[in-house]
Amino acid sequence: MDTDFQSELAERVARDQRDNRLPSLAVAVGVDAVQLAEASVGYADVDNQVWADSATPYRIGSITKTFTAALTLSLCQGGELALDSRVDRYLPGTRFGHLPLSTLLSHSSGLQREVPGDMWTTMQGPSASELYDAFDHVELVAEPGHRWHYSNLGYAVIGQIIERVTGSPCEALIDQRLLNPLDLARTTWKPSEDAAVGYRLDPYADRMHREPAMDQATVGVGGQLWSTSEDLLRWGHALCGGEPDIVTPTVVEAMHRLQIMVDTTSWGRGWGLGLILERHGDRVLSGHTGAMPGFQSAISLDRTTKTVVAALTNVTRGIALNELTSDVVFEAIEARPASLRPAWQPAPPCPEELHDVLGSWWTESDETILRWCGDGLHAHLVSSPATTDTRFVKEAPGKYRAIIGRLQGELLIVTRTPDGIELRWATYPLTRTPR
């Protein structure tokens, strides 16, 4: 643990808790599955003066959706569901059967925000039969795919589809396929005895009021989970690709694949299949936020450095936690100790067939460098190396497929003739000199 960064984080957390009058605030930072720092301040239970710490469970609200999305995409990868299939393939007879499953995950379906009913008055979610009755009263507030419109209802529909197809409740499958294998023992569907108590601030006095507890019932796949900052670090590591046997690379890539823009003015925020995608300068952070009566949560992650920040508080409003987690991600990247940075190592021997392919090539006045790295053949434009790095895999003699980066999916074809080497990438010829 970097002691300077730990001290700076503790000061930031204490300041934010004090300035925003939060009952408690817990923040944890991890890099590549190693906890870098954590800080907690304030009371998890004000009435009984129980201090909060990194093992205190808080309601995480809509961060639950990241688990539901990961499970859904895993079922798609296994062939049990299909992202482009319509809802009526799984739930026939609804008023929204024409909606593709992918639009539910990305909040681009046009479904209204909440399940029709009085859940936010009674604090009790619908039973399965009540949910299906409510489907008859659902409205579409936008055309599918036309704009982003957040929909808790959409995730409730996903939960019912999963149960219909698998025969098991969505919550049980999240336990079996995600929580248990990742050893997220403090992430549960019901609060433990030591869970934080939720409050709201009094606007006119320095006091707080206890919030009622909501049971979302069948809507809970979008907001029912409780977790700790420690557990969320491990979950964030998995979303960075750090647990490929549990959350596969295919699922991780799909969750990070942009589906729709939220911010259509500055194009700073978009949505993937279950994750928020936010641009900060030359980086795009992913993650999610959560808000329930008495609680707020946020998780931000940078896949490039596998840096994860989770923050939890037990108050309804009062702080923009996603701004805190984003800030701390960048502070953690800067503070990352050298011991956590992998040492440089020489690449394995370059295949003989590529020796005379490496180096400078030109196409349409752009210079491209082909180079051999530890994970294979790479290419980048000299004009913008950081944003055009591309990795290839060999498919056949003389054929290399771009699997990530610029022109992803296109073939690089190497042909040897009596006059020398000919290269074509995405059918464009590359030459050793500009032309």
User: What is the DSSP annotation of 80-105?
Assistant: S--TTSBGGGTSTT-TTTTSBHHHHH
CA distance 84 to 67: 20
Query: What's the first-to-final CA gap in the chain, in angstroms?
Result: 53
For residue 150, pLDDT over 90 is answered with yes
For residue 410, pLDDT over 90 is answered with yes
Query: Cβ distance 313 to 25 under 8 Å?
Result: yes
The whole-number pLDDT of residue 310 equals 98
CA distance 186 to 196: 13
For residue 269, pLDDT over 70 is answered with yes
The whole-number pLDDT of residue 2 equals 62
Compute the C-alpha angle 269/279/331, nearest 5°: 130
The percent of residues above 90 in pLDDT, for the chain, comes to 91
Spell out a b/e string for 265-277, using b for 16 or more CB atoms within 10 Å of the CB, else e: eeeeebbbbbbbb
For residue 336, pLDDT over 80 is answered with no
For residue 287, pLDDT over 70 is answered with yes
For residue 299, pLDDT over 70 is answered with yes
Mean pLDDT for all residues in the chain:
95
**What confidence category does residue 341 fall into, taking pLDDT thresholds of 50, 70 and 90?**
low
**How far is C-alpha 93 from the geometric centre of its chain's CA atoms?**
32
Q: Which two tokens stand for residue 150?
A: 């957040």
For residue 282, pLDDT over 90 is answered with no
The whole-number pLDDT of residue 98 equals 97
Query: Cβ distance 120 to 126 under 8 Å?
Result: no
44-84 confidence digits (pLDDT tens)? 999 999 999 999 999 999 999 999 999 999 999 999 999 99
The whole-number pLDDT of residue 387 equals 87
The whole-number pLDDT of residue 339 equals 60
Give the mean pLDDT of 10-28. 96
For residue 366, pLDDT over 80 is answered with yes
178-207 confidence digits (pLDDT tens)? 999 999 999 999 999 999 999 999 988 889
The whole-number pLDDT of residue 345 equals 86
For residue 355, pLDDT over 90 is answered with yes
Q: Which two tokens stand for residue 182?
A: 């990742």
DSSP 326-365: HHHHHHHHHH--GGGSPPP-PPPPPPGGGTTT-EEEEETT
Burial of 352 (0-12, 13-18, 19+ CB in 10 A): exposed
CA distance 106 to 143: 14
For residue 338, pLDDT over 70 is answered with no
C-alpha closest to that of 104 among 137, 79, 78, 76: 76
Q: Which two tokens stand for residue 262?
A: 């939220």
Query: Cβ distance 227 to 184 under 8 Å?
Result: yes
CA distance 299 to 236: 7
In this structure, what DSSP letter does residue 188 have?
A: B
CA distance 378 to 387: 13
Burial of 185 (0-12, 13-18, 19+ CB in 10 A): exposed
For residue 401, pLDDT over 90 is answered with yes
Q: Which amino acid is at 270?
A: G
Among 46-60, 302-316, 330-344, which is the least confidently predicted range? 330-344
Spell out a b/e string for 395-419, using b for 16 or more CB atoms within 10 Å of the CB, else e: eeebebebeeebeeebbbebeeeee
For residue 93, pLDDT over 70 is answered with yes
The whole-number pLDDT of residue 277 equals 98
Among 17-21, 225-229, 340-344, which is the least confidently predicted range? 340-344
For residue 330, pLDDT over 60 is answered with yes
101-149 confidence digits (pLDDT tens)? 999 999 999 999 999 999 999 999 999 999 999 999 999 999 999 999 9
For residue 340, pLDDT over 90 is answered with no
- As a whole number of angstroms, the longest Cα–Cα distance in the chain is 86
For residue 1, pLDDT over 60 is answered with no
The whole-number pLDDT of residue 337 equals 64
Give the mean pLDDT of 339-346. 73
